[in-house]
Amino acid sequence: MGTTTDLTMQQVQHVAALARLALTDEEMIAIGKDLQAILHHVDKLSEVDVTGVKPLTSPHSHCSRLHDDMAEPPLAAKTVLDLAPATEGDFIAVPKVLTGGGDA
């Protein structure tokens, strides 16, 4: 990992796009600074010798198990639709997904 190099504005913008966050330039600068400081602290992990150490994704090994493959009653459609911010009939309404190129 080495020492964190400075995050560029392009990197911060790229991460914000991946995270589906619309940030103003000011917010980008502030959050970039914070990330830099946190990553600097995290850099101490790079000093640890992890040669041959197997990653541990979860400590729940004492209880993780496979689920029985059985159908369970789902939530009622109305319950689910009532939670949605916008609906049309029995559907959740969303803006147009495909833009351009189509013949619609």
Which positions lie near another protein, rule CB under 8 A? 1-2, 11-12, 14-16, 18-23, 31, 34-35, 37-39, 41-46, 48, 50, 53-60, 62-68, 75, 79-80, 82-86, 92, 94-97, 99
In whole angstroms, the minimum distance from the beta carbon of 51 to another protein comes to: 9
Q: How far is CA 23 from the centre of its chain?
A: 16
Closer residue to another protein in complex, CB, 52/103: 52
- DSSP character at residue 62: G
Tokens of 73: 């009653």
Inter-residue long-range contacts of 90-94, CB under 8 Å, 24+ positions, other chains counted: none
